[in-house]
Chain A
Protein backbone atom coordinates (compact mmCIF):
# COMPACT_ATOMS: atom_id res chain seq x y z
CA UNK A 1 0.00 0.00 0.00
CA UNK A 2 2.74 2.39 1.04
CA UNK A 3 4.77 1.39 -1.99
CA UNK A 4 1.83 1.88 -4.29
CA UNK A 5 1.22 5.33 -2.87
CA UNK A 6 4.94 6.05 -3.07
CA UNK A 7 5.01 5.06 -6.72
CA UNK A 8 2.14 7.41 -7.52
CA UNK A 9 3.74 10.15 -5.46
CA UNK A 10 7.16 9.87 -7.08
CA UNK A 11 5.68 9.77 -10.54
CA UNK A 12 3.59 12.81 -9.76
CA UNK A 13 6.43 14.80 -8.20
CA UNK A 14 8.70 14.17 -11.11
CA UNK A 15 5.95 14.94 -13.54
CA UNK A 16 5.13 18.30 -11.97
CA UNK A 17 7.57 20.32 -14.04
CA UNK A 18 6.17 18.92 -17.27
CA UNK A 19 2.62 19.47 -16.14
CA UNK A 20 3.40 23.06 -15.26
CA UNK A 21 5.44 23.93 -18.32
CA UNK A 22 3.76 21.91 -20.99
CA UNK A 23 0.32 21.28 -19.53
CA UNK A 24 -1.43 17.93 -19.34
CA UNK A 25 -4.07 18.72 -21.94
CA UNK A 26 -1.59 19.93 -24.54
CA UNK A 27 0.49 16.84 -23.91
CA UNK A 28 -2.42 14.46 -24.10
CA UNK A 29 -3.91 16.01 -27.23
CA UNK A 30 -0.66 16.95 -28.98
CA UNK A 31 0.05 14.95 -32.09
CA UNK A 32 3.73 15.72 -32.42
CA UNK A 33 6.39 14.01 -30.35
CA UNK A 34 9.72 15.75 -30.99
CA UNK A 35 11.27 15.69 -27.55
CA UNK A 36 14.74 16.66 -28.66
CA UNK A 37 13.92 19.56 -30.94
CA UNK A 38 14.14 23.05 -29.51
CA UNK A 39 11.71 23.79 -28.03
CA UNK A 40 10.65 20.16 -27.54
CA UNK A 41 7.23 19.09 -28.66
CA UNK A 42 5.64 16.63 -26.27
CA UNK A 43 2.41 15.55 -27.88
CA UNK A 44 1.64 12.15 -26.37
CA UNK A 45 -1.19 11.23 -28.67
CA UNK A 46 0.97 9.15 -31.02
CA UNK A 47 2.30 7.19 -28.05
CA UNK A 48 -1.12 6.63 -26.50
CA UNK A 49 -2.56 5.57 -29.84
CA UNK A 50 0.47 3.39 -30.46
CA UNK A 51 -0.07 1.62 -27.16
CA UNK A 52 -3.79 1.21 -27.81
CA UNK A 53 -3.25 -0.15 -31.32
CA UNK A 54 -0.67 -2.70 -30.25
CA UNK A 55 -2.75 -3.70 -27.25
CA UNK A 56 -5.85 -4.03 -29.42
CA UNK A 57 -4.06 -6.39 -31.80
CA UNK A 58 -2.74 -8.34 -28.83
CA UNK A 59 -6.22 -8.81 -27.40
CA UNK A 60 -7.62 -9.90 -30.76
CA UNK A 61 -5.13 -12.74 -30.57
CA UNK A 62 -5.15 -13.55 -26.90
CA UNK A 63 -8.83 -13.34 -25.99
CA UNK A 64 -10.18 -16.03 -28.33
CA UNK A 65 -7.20 -18.30 -27.87
CA UNK A 66 -6.91 -17.65 -24.15
CA UNK A 67 -10.57 -18.00 -23.23
CA UNK A 68 -10.98 -20.99 -25.54
CA UNK A 69 -7.99 -22.73 -24.02
CA UNK A 70 -9.23 -21.92 -20.52
CA UNK A 71 -12.66 -23.41 -21.21
CA UNK A 72 -11.02 -26.49 -22.69
CA UNK A 73 -8.68 -26.92 -19.74
CA UNK A 74 -11.38 -26.38 -17.17
CA UNK A 75 -14.32 -28.21 -18.74
CA UNK A 76 -13.04 -30.74 -21.25
CA UNK A 77 -9.75 -32.00 -19.90
CA UNK A 78 -8.92 -33.90 -16.77
CA UNK A 79 -6.19 -35.70 -14.94
CA UNK A 80 -2.72 -35.68 -16.40
CA UNK A 81 -3.72 -33.72 -19.51
CA UNK A 82 -5.09 -30.94 -17.37
CA UNK A 83 -1.98 -30.82 -15.20
CA UNK A 84 0.31 -30.73 -18.21
CA UNK A 85 -1.71 -27.96 -19.84
CA UNK A 86 -1.63 -25.91 -16.67
CA UNK A 87 2.11 -26.35 -16.29
CA UNK A 88 2.58 -25.23 -19.87
CA UNK A 89 0.62 -22.07 -19.17
CA UNK A 90 2.73 -21.44 -16.10
CA UNK A 91 5.86 -21.94 -18.14
CA UNK A 92 4.67 -19.43 -20.72
CA UNK A 93 4.12 -16.89 -17.98
CA UNK A 94 7.62 -17.46 -16.66
CA UNK A 95 9.42 -16.78 -19.93
CA UNK A 96 11.01 -13.33 -19.63
CA UNK A 97 9.67 -10.68 -21.95
CA UNK A 98 13.06 -9.99 -23.46
CA UNK A 99 13.09 -13.59 -24.69
CA UNK A 100 9.70 -13.12 -26.34
CA UNK A 101 11.18 -10.02 -27.89
CA UNK A 102 14.13 -12.01 -29.17
CA UNK A 103 11.87 -14.64 -30.67
CA UNK A 104 9.86 -11.88 -32.28
CA UNK A 105 13.00 -10.40 -33.79
CA UNK A 106 14.17 -13.74 -35.11
CA UNK A 107 10.89 -15.24 -36.30
CA UNK A 108 8.05 -12.78 -36.47
CA UNK A 109 9.74 -9.80 -38.09
CA UNK A 110 10.88 -11.69 -41.21
CA UNK A 111 7.56 -13.53 -41.29
CA UNK A 112 5.43 -10.37 -41.20
CA UNK A 113 7.73 -8.73 -43.72
CA UNK A 114 7.44 -11.60 -46.22
CA UNK A 115 3.79 -12.46 -45.78
CA UNK A 116 2.59 -8.90 -46.27
CA UNK A 117 5.54 -7.92 -48.51
CA UNK A 118 6.43 -4.90 -46.45
CA UNK A 119 9.63 -2.90 -46.54
CA UNK A 120 10.16 -3.62 -42.86
CA UNK A 121 8.84 -6.13 -40.36
CA UNK A 122 9.00 -3.65 -37.50
CA UNK A 123 5.28 -2.95 -37.31
CA UNK A 124 2.44 -2.55 -34.88
CA UNK A 125 1.22 -5.97 -36.03
CA UNK A 126 4.48 -7.66 -35.09
CA UNK A 127 4.49 -6.14 -31.64
CA UNK A 128 0.79 -6.86 -31.18
CA UNK A 129 1.17 -10.52 -32.10
CA UNK A 130 3.97 -11.19 -29.65
CA UNK A 131 2.14 -9.19 -27.00
CA UNK A 132 -0.89 -11.35 -27.64
CA UNK A 133 1.14 -14.46 -26.98
CA UNK A 134 2.51 -12.88 -23.82
CA UNK A 135 -0.90 -12.04 -22.41
CA UNK A 136 -2.34 -15.50 -23.09
CA UNK A 137 -1.11 -16.99 -19.80
CA UNK A 138 -2.77 -14.22 -17.76
CA UNK A 139 -6.07 -14.67 -19.55
CA UNK A 140 -5.99 -18.46 -19.39
CA UNK A 141 -5.12 -18.75 -15.74
CA UNK A 142 -7.58 -16.13 -14.47
CA UNK A 143 -10.40 -17.45 -16.67
CA UNK A 144 -9.63 -20.98 -15.62
CA UNK A 145 -9.81 -19.95 -11.96
CA UNK A 146 -13.18 -18.32 -12.60
CA UNK A 147 -14.54 -21.42 -14.32
CA UNK A 148 -13.12 -23.65 -11.63
CA UNK A 149 -14.91 -21.62 -8.98
CA UNK A 150 -18.31 -22.41 -10.46
CA UNK A 151 -19.82 -24.99 -8.10
CA UNK A 152 -20.00 -28.57 -9.34
CA UNK A 153 -23.70 -28.74 -8.38
CA UNK A 154 -24.54 -26.29 -11.13
CA UNK A 155 -22.92 -28.43 -13.80
CA UNK A 156 -24.47 -31.58 -12.43
CA UNK A 157 -27.82 -29.88 -12.26
CA UNK A 158 -27.55 -29.00 -15.92
CA UNK A 159 -26.27 -32.42 -16.92
CA UNK A 160 -29.14 -34.03 -15.01
CA UNK A 161 -31.53 -32.07 -17.23
CA UNK A 162 -30.11 -33.89 -20.23
CA UNK A 163 -27.68 -31.25 -21.42
CA UNK A 164 -24.47 -32.32 -23.09
CA UNK A 165 -21.21 -31.12 -21.69
CA UNK A 166 -20.93 -28.35 -24.27
CA UNK A 167 -24.51 -27.24 -23.64
CA UNK A 168 -23.78 -27.14 -19.94
CA UNK A 169 -20.61 -25.17 -20.54
CA UNK A 170 -22.23 -22.76 -22.92
CA UNK A 171 -25.48 -22.21 -21.06
CA UNK A 172 -24.45 -22.54 -17.45
CA UNK A 173 -20.75 -22.59 -16.65
CA UNK A 174 -19.41 -19.83 -18.87
CA UNK A 175 -22.22 -17.37 -18.06
CA UNK A 176 -21.75 -18.10 -14.36
CA UNK A 177 -18.05 -17.39 -14.66
CA UNK A 178 -18.68 -14.48 -17.01
CA UNK A 179 -17.52 -11.69 -14.80
CA UNK A 180 -14.37 -13.59 -13.90
CA UNK A 181 -13.60 -14.15 -17.57
CA UNK A 182 -14.21 -10.49 -18.19
CA UNK A 183 -11.78 -9.66 -15.39
CA UNK A 184 -9.26 -11.98 -17.01
CA UNK A 185 -9.53 -10.02 -20.24
CA UNK A 186 -9.03 -6.78 -18.35
CA UNK A 187 -5.95 -8.12 -16.62
CA UNK A 188 -4.66 -9.36 -19.96
CA UNK A 189 -5.17 -5.86 -21.28
CA UNK A 190 -3.32 -4.41 -18.32
CA UNK A 191 -0.45 -6.80 -18.91
CA UNK A 192 -0.30 -5.97 -22.62
CA UNK A 193 -0.44 -2.22 -22.24
CA UNK A 194 2.29 -2.23 -19.61
CA UNK A 195 4.67 -4.52 -21.46
CA UNK A 196 7.87 -2.78 -22.44
CA UNK A 197 10.85 -4.62 -23.72
CA UNK A 198 9.26 -6.91 -26.26
CA UNK A 199 7.33 -4.12 -27.98
CA UNK A 200 10.37 -1.90 -27.89
CA UNK A 201 12.26 -4.54 -29.83
CA UNK A 202 9.52 -5.13 -32.37
CA UNK A 203 7.43 -2.10 -33.24
CA UNK A 204 10.08 0.10 -34.85
CA UNK A 205 9.35 3.01 -32.54
CA UNK A 206 8.32 5.72 -34.94
CA UNK A 207 6.45 8.28 -32.90
CA UNK A 208 3.77 9.08 -35.44
CA UNK A 209 0.07 8.39 -35.46
CA UNK A 210 -0.28 5.14 -37.40
CA UNK A 211 -2.59 4.73 -40.39
CA UNK A 212 -2.49 0.97 -40.46
CA UNK A 213 -1.24 -1.99 -38.49
CA UNK A 214 1.61 -2.39 -40.96
CA UNK A 215 3.24 0.81 -39.83
CA UNK A 216 5.81 1.32 -37.20
CA UNK A 217 4.48 2.68 -33.91
CA UNK A 218 5.89 3.72 -30.59
CA UNK A 219 4.21 2.86 -27.32
CA UNK A 220 4.22 4.75 -24.05
CA UNK A 221 6.30 2.07 -22.36
CA UNK A 222 8.75 1.90 -25.23
CA UNK A 223 9.21 5.66 -25.19
CA UNK A 224 10.11 5.72 -21.53
CA UNK A 225 12.54 2.84 -21.91
CA UNK A 226 14.20 4.20 -25.00
CA UNK A 227 14.52 7.84 -24.02
CA UNK A 228 15.07 7.84 -20.29
CA UNK A 229 18.65 6.75 -20.74
CA UNK A 230 19.51 9.84 -22.73
CA UNK A 231 17.72 12.68 -20.99
CA UNK A 232 19.05 15.27 -18.57
CA UNK A 233 17.93 14.31 -15.11
CA UNK A 234 15.49 16.87 -13.79
CA UNK A 235 15.06 18.42 -17.22
CA UNK A 236 11.78 18.98 -18.98
CA UNK A 237 12.07 15.90 -21.17
CA UNK A 238 12.83 13.82 -18.06
CA UNK A 239 9.76 15.21 -16.39
CA UNK A 240 7.65 14.57 -19.47
CA UNK A 241 8.70 10.91 -19.46
CA UNK A 242 7.51 10.68 -15.87
CA UNK A 243 4.23 12.16 -17.02
CA UNK A 244 4.00 9.38 -19.59
CA UNK A 245 4.67 6.95 -16.75
CA UNK A 246 1.96 8.58 -14.69
CA UNK A 247 -0.56 8.29 -17.51
CA UNK A 248 0.41 4.64 -17.92
CA UNK A 249 0.10 4.07 -14.20
CA UNK A 250 -3.34 5.65 -14.07
CA UNK A 251 -4.56 3.56 -17.02
CA UNK A 252 -3.28 0.25 -15.68
CA UNK A 253 -4.37 1.10 -12.17
CA UNK A 254 -7.89 1.77 -13.39
CA UNK A 255 -8.00 -1.40 -15.48
CA UNK A 256 -6.62 -3.57 -12.69
CA UNK A 257 -8.81 -2.05 -10.03
CA UNK A 258 -11.88 -2.69 -12.13
CA UNK A 259 -10.80 -6.28 -12.70
CA UNK A 260 -10.06 -6.83 -9.01
CA UNK A 261 -13.43 -5.47 -7.97
CA UNK A 262 -15.17 -7.71 -10.47
CA UNK A 263 -13.19 -10.72 -9.20
CA UNK A 264 -13.93 -9.93 -5.60
CA UNK A 265 -17.63 -9.68 -6.27
CA UNK A 266 -17.47 -13.01 -8.07
CA UNK A 267 -15.70 -14.64 -5.15
CA UNK A 268 -18.36 -13.39 -2.78
CA UNK A 269 -21.05 -14.86 -4.94
CA UNK A 270 -19.78 -18.41 -4.67
CA UNK A 271 -18.96 -18.28 -1.02
CA UNK A 272 -20.95 -21.13 0.57
Chain B
Protein backbone atom coordinates (compact mmCIF):
# COMPACT_ATOMS: atom_id res chain seq x y z
CA UNK B 1 0.00 0.00 0.00
CA UNK B 2 2.88 2.26 0.78
CA UNK B 3 4.02 1.76 -2.77
CA UNK B 4 0.85 2.76 -4.48
CA UNK B 5 0.42 5.77 -2.28
CA UNK B 6 3.94 6.83 -3.02
CA UNK B 7 3.55 6.29 -6.71
CA UNK B 8 0.36 8.26 -6.63
CA UNK B 9 1.95 11.05 -4.73
CA UNK B 10 4.78 11.29 -7.19
CA UNK B 11 2.37 11.23 -10.08
CA UNK B 12 0.79 14.36 -8.71
CA UNK B 13 4.11 16.00 -8.21
CA UNK B 14 3.96 16.04 -4.43
CA UNK B 15 7.17 15.71 -2.47
CA UNK B 16 7.30 12.10 -1.43
CA UNK B 17 9.76 12.17 1.42
CA UNK B 18 7.74 14.71 3.34
CA UNK B 19 4.70 12.44 3.51
CA UNK B 20 6.56 9.26 4.38
CA UNK B 21 8.54 9.88 7.49
CA UNK B 22 9.88 6.49 8.49
CA UNK B 23 10.00 4.92 5.03
CA UNK B 24 11.14 7.39 2.42
CA UNK B 25 9.84 5.77 -0.78
CA UNK B 26 12.28 7.18 -3.19
CA UNK B 27 14.27 4.24 -4.42
CA UNK B 28 17.47 3.84 -2.52
CA UNK B 29 19.03 0.42 -2.13
CA UNK B 30 21.34 -0.76 0.52
CA UNK B 31 23.26 -4.00 -0.06
CA UNK B 32 25.01 -5.79 2.80
CA UNK B 33 27.28 -8.76 2.21
CA UNK B 34 25.27 -9.97 -0.78
CA UNK B 35 26.27 -13.28 -2.30
CA UNK B 36 24.81 -15.31 -5.17
CA UNK B 37 25.36 -18.94 -6.06
CA UNK B 38 24.09 -20.95 -9.03
CA UNK B 39 23.92 -24.42 -7.52
CA UNK B 40 27.46 -25.06 -6.23
CA UNK B 41 28.98 -22.28 -8.27
CA UNK B 42 29.44 -19.17 -6.12
CA UNK B 43 29.35 -16.27 -8.56
CA UNK B 44 29.21 -13.24 -6.30
CA UNK B 45 30.33 -12.79 -2.72
CA UNK B 46 30.51 -10.06 -0.12
CA UNK B 47 29.03 -7.16 -2.06
CA UNK B 48 28.14 -4.24 0.19
CA UNK B 49 27.18 -0.90 -1.26
CA UNK B 50 24.53 1.79 -1.23
CA UNK B 51 22.63 2.95 -4.24
CA UNK B 52 21.42 6.52 -3.70
CA UNK B 53 18.03 7.71 -4.92
CA UNK B 54 17.50 9.84 -8.01
CA UNK B 55 20.91 9.15 -9.42
CA UNK B 56 22.37 6.91 -12.06
CA UNK B 57 24.55 4.14 -10.71
CA UNK B 58 26.61 2.16 -13.23
CA UNK B 59 27.79 -1.39 -12.63
CA UNK B 60 30.92 -2.08 -14.67
CA UNK B 61 33.34 -4.94 -15.01
CA UNK B 62 34.50 -7.58 -17.48
CA UNK B 63 31.91 -9.96 -18.86
CA UNK B 64 31.10 -12.81 -16.50
CA UNK B 65 31.80 -10.74 -13.42
CA UNK B 66 28.24 -11.04 -12.17
CA UNK B 67 27.01 -7.50 -12.79
CA UNK B 68 23.80 -8.67 -14.42
CA UNK B 69 23.31 -11.25 -11.71
CA UNK B 70 23.68 -8.57 -9.05
CA UNK B 71 21.23 -6.37 -10.96
CA UNK B 72 18.67 -9.16 -11.00
CA UNK B 73 18.92 -9.40 -7.20
CA UNK B 74 17.39 -5.95 -7.00
CA UNK B 75 14.05 -7.04 -8.51
CA UNK B 76 14.31 -10.72 -7.57
CA UNK B 77 14.43 -11.85 -11.20
CA UNK B 78 16.95 -14.47 -10.11
CA UNK B 79 14.02 -16.26 -8.49
CA UNK B 80 12.80 -17.14 -11.96
CA UNK B 81 15.98 -18.95 -12.95
CA UNK B 82 15.67 -21.62 -10.30
CA UNK B 83 18.64 -23.13 -8.53
CA UNK B 84 19.89 -19.69 -7.51
CA UNK B 85 20.62 -18.84 -3.89
CA UNK B 86 20.99 -15.26 -2.77
CA UNK B 87 22.58 -14.50 0.59
CA UNK B 88 23.06 -11.31 2.59
CA UNK B 89 20.63 -8.43 2.91
CA UNK B 90 19.22 -5.99 0.42
CA UNK B 91 16.87 -3.24 1.46
CA UNK B 92 14.83 -0.92 -0.70
CA UNK B 93 14.01 2.29 1.19
CA UNK B 94 14.78 0.48 4.41
CA UNK B 95 12.56 -2.53 3.66
CA UNK B 96 14.16 -5.96 3.37
CA UNK B 97 13.53 -7.37 -0.10
CA UNK B 98 15.49 -10.61 0.11
CA UNK B 99 13.34 -12.75 2.35
CA UNK B 100 9.84 -14.07 2.20
CA UNK B 101 8.64 -10.81 3.73
CA UNK B 102 8.06 -9.35 0.29
CA UNK B 103 6.26 -10.74 -2.71
CA UNK B 104 8.59 -10.49 -5.73
CA UNK B 105 5.58 -9.60 -7.84
CA UNK B 106 4.93 -6.50 -5.71
CA UNK B 107 8.60 -5.65 -5.68
CA UNK B 108 8.77 -5.69 -9.46
CA UNK B 109 6.06 -3.06 -9.71
CA UNK B 110 8.37 -0.78 -7.76
CA UNK B 111 11.54 -1.84 -9.51
CA UNK B 112 11.25 -1.94 -13.29
CA UNK B 113 13.70 -3.46 -15.71
CA UNK B 114 14.86 -2.79 -19.25
CA UNK B 115 16.61 -5.66 -20.95
CA UNK B 116 19.62 -6.05 -23.18
CA UNK B 117 17.67 -6.55 -26.36
CA UNK B 118 14.47 -4.66 -27.04
CA UNK B 119 11.67 -7.06 -26.12
CA UNK B 120 8.31 -5.45 -26.79
CA UNK B 121 5.33 -7.76 -26.52
CA UNK B 122 3.71 -8.81 -29.79
CA UNK B 123 0.89 -6.28 -29.41
CA UNK B 124 0.20 -2.65 -30.23
CA UNK B 125 2.35 0.17 -28.86
CA UNK B 126 -0.51 1.21 -26.60
CA UNK B 127 -1.03 -2.29 -25.20
CA UNK B 128 2.68 -2.59 -24.53
CA UNK B 129 2.78 0.53 -22.41
CA UNK B 130 -0.36 -0.25 -20.43
CA UNK B 131 0.66 -3.85 -19.77
CA UNK B 132 2.06 -3.03 -16.32
CA UNK B 133 -0.75 -0.68 -15.24
CA UNK B 134 -3.33 -3.24 -16.35
CA UNK B 135 -1.51 -5.82 -14.26
CA UNK B 136 -1.95 -3.45 -11.33
CA UNK B 137 -5.65 -3.38 -12.05
CA UNK B 138 -5.95 0.03 -13.68
CA UNK B 139 -8.77 -0.17 -16.21
CA UNK B 140 -9.99 3.38 -16.81
CA UNK B 141 -9.60 4.37 -20.45
CA UNK B 142 -8.66 8.00 -19.73
CA UNK B 143 -6.28 7.05 -16.99
CA UNK B 144 -4.51 4.58 -19.26
CA UNK B 145 -4.40 7.09 -22.08
CA UNK B 146 -2.81 9.65 -19.78
CA UNK B 147 -0.29 7.10 -18.54
CA UNK B 148 0.66 6.18 -22.09
CA UNK B 149 1.31 9.78 -23.06
CA UNK B 150 3.24 10.53 -19.88
CA UNK B 151 5.38 7.39 -20.15
CA UNK B 152 6.10 7.80 -23.83
CA UNK B 153 7.02 11.45 -23.27
CA UNK B 154 9.41 10.49 -20.50
CA UNK B 155 10.96 7.91 -22.79
CA UNK B 156 11.26 10.54 -25.54
CA UNK B 157 9.14 8.50 -27.92
CA UNK B 158 5.83 10.36 -27.78
CA UNK B 159 6.43 12.69 -30.70
CA UNK B 160 7.36 9.81 -32.98
CA UNK B 161 4.46 7.51 -32.21
CA UNK B 162 1.60 9.65 -30.94
CA UNK B 163 -0.31 9.19 -34.19
CA UNK B 164 0.21 5.45 -34.38
CA UNK B 165 -0.40 4.06 -30.91
CA UNK B 166 -2.43 1.22 -32.46
CA UNK B 167 0.47 0.12 -34.60
CA UNK B 168 2.10 -3.22 -33.86
CA UNK B 169 5.17 -2.68 -31.70
CA UNK B 170 7.28 -4.80 -34.04
CA UNK B 171 6.96 -2.17 -36.75
CA UNK B 172 9.18 0.19 -34.75
CA UNK B 173 12.92 0.38 -35.26
CA UNK B 174 15.25 -1.25 -32.74
CA UNK B 175 16.00 2.01 -30.95
CA UNK B 176 12.32 2.94 -30.85
CA UNK B 177 11.48 -0.48 -29.51
CA UNK B 178 13.97 -0.05 -26.71
CA UNK B 179 12.54 3.34 -25.80
CA UNK B 180 9.11 1.72 -25.88
CA UNK B 181 10.43 -0.81 -23.38
CA UNK B 182 11.61 2.04 -21.19
CA UNK B 183 8.18 3.66 -21.44
CA UNK B 184 6.61 0.33 -20.59
CA UNK B 185 8.76 0.12 -17.46
CA UNK B 186 7.94 3.73 -16.53
CA UNK B 187 4.21 3.20 -16.83
CA UNK B 188 4.05 1.28 -13.56
CA UNK B 189 5.47 4.35 -11.79
CA UNK B 190 8.46 2.51 -10.40
CA UNK B 191 10.90 3.99 -7.93
CA UNK B 192 13.81 2.31 -9.64
CA UNK B 193 14.57 1.17 -13.17
CA UNK B 194 17.22 -1.46 -13.73
CA UNK B 195 18.89 -1.48 -17.12
CA UNK B 196 20.92 -4.41 -18.34
CA UNK B 197 23.14 -3.08 -21.13
CA UNK B 198 20.14 -1.36 -22.69
CA UNK B 199 22.06 -0.02 -25.67
CA UNK B 200 24.28 -2.94 -26.50
CA UNK B 201 22.04 -4.14 -29.34
CA UNK B 202 21.58 -0.69 -30.85
CA UNK B 203 23.34 1.55 -33.35
CA UNK B 204 25.24 4.66 -32.19
CA UNK B 205 22.44 7.11 -32.91
CA UNK B 206 19.86 5.05 -31.04
CA UNK B 207 22.37 4.61 -28.23
CA UNK B 208 22.71 8.38 -27.99
CA UNK B 209 18.92 8.73 -27.75
CA UNK B 210 18.73 6.13 -25.00
CA UNK B 211 21.48 7.86 -23.06
CA UNK B 212 19.68 11.20 -23.35
CA UNK B 213 16.52 9.53 -22.11
CA UNK B 214 18.34 8.09 -19.13
CA UNK B 215 19.78 11.48 -18.24
CA UNK B 216 16.33 13.06 -18.27
CA UNK B 217 14.79 10.29 -16.18
CA UNK B 218 16.91 10.52 -13.08
CA UNK B 219 14.88 13.30 -11.53
CA UNK B 220 11.99 10.86 -11.29
CA UNK B 221 13.54 7.47 -10.73
CA UNK B 222 16.67 5.83 -9.48
CA UNK B 223 18.55 4.13 -12.29
CA UNK B 224 20.93 1.21 -11.99
CA UNK B 225 22.60 0.39 -15.28
CA UNK B 226 24.89 -2.44 -16.21
CA UNK B 227 27.26 -1.63 -19.01
CA UNK B 228 30.53 -2.85 -20.37
CA UNK B 229 31.04 0.38 -22.23
CA UNK B 230 33.42 2.55 -20.17
CA UNK B 231 32.61 5.74 -22.04
CA UNK B 232 28.93 5.17 -21.52
CA UNK B 233 29.39 4.71 -17.79
CA UNK B 234 31.50 7.85 -17.64
CA UNK B 235 28.98 9.86 -19.67
CA UNK B 236 25.76 9.00 -17.93
CA UNK B 237 26.38 7.80 -14.39
CA UNK B 238 26.80 9.67 -11.12
CA UNK B 239 28.26 6.73 -9.29
CA UNK B 240 30.09 3.67 -10.55
CA UNK B 241 30.68 0.28 -9.01
CA UNK B 242 33.42 -1.93 -10.38
CA UNK B 243 33.12 -5.69 -10.04
CA UNK B 244 35.70 -8.31 -10.88
CA UNK B 245 35.92 -12.07 -10.84
CA UNK B 246 39.62 -12.68 -10.64
CA UNK B 247 39.52 -16.39 -11.40
CA UNK B 248 36.89 -18.96 -12.29
CA UNK B 249 37.43 -20.73 -8.98
CA UNK B 250 36.51 -17.67 -6.96
CA UNK B 251 33.32 -15.67 -6.87
CA UNK B 252 33.27 -12.08 -8.07
CA UNK B 253 33.79 -9.25 -5.62
CA UNK B 254 32.98 -5.60 -5.56
CA UNK B 255 36.33 -3.91 -6.00
CA UNK B 256 35.41 -0.31 -5.67
CA UNK B 257 32.40 1.96 -5.66
CA UNK B 258 32.27 5.72 -5.66
CA UNK B 259 31.69 8.94 -7.57
CA UNK B 260 32.00 8.28 -11.26
CA UNK B 261 34.30 11.23 -11.82
CA UNK B 262 36.66 10.09 -9.12
CA UNK B 263 36.59 6.48 -10.30
CA UNK B 264 37.56 7.45 -13.77
CA UNK B 265 40.22 9.96 -12.85
CA UNK B 266 41.70 8.74 -9.62
CA UNK B 267 40.58 5.24 -8.63
CA UNK B 268 41.63 3.87 -5.25
CA UNK B 269 42.31 0.36 -6.47
CA UNK B 270 44.99 -0.57 -8.97
CA UNK B 271 42.68 -3.18 -10.54
CA UNK B 272 40.06 -0.54 -11.22
CA UNK B 273 42.64 1.55 -12.94
CA UNK B 274 43.82 -1.37 -15.05
CA UNK B 275 40.27 -2.13 -16.14
CA UNK B 276 39.37 1.42 -16.92
CA UNK B 277 42.50 1.93 -18.93
CA UNK B 278 41.80 -1.27 -20.77
CA UNK B 279 44.02 -3.95 -19.34
CA UNK B 280 41.32 -6.61 -18.72
CA UNK B 281 38.85 -7.92 -21.32
A–B contact with Cβ pairs below 8 Å: the answer is no
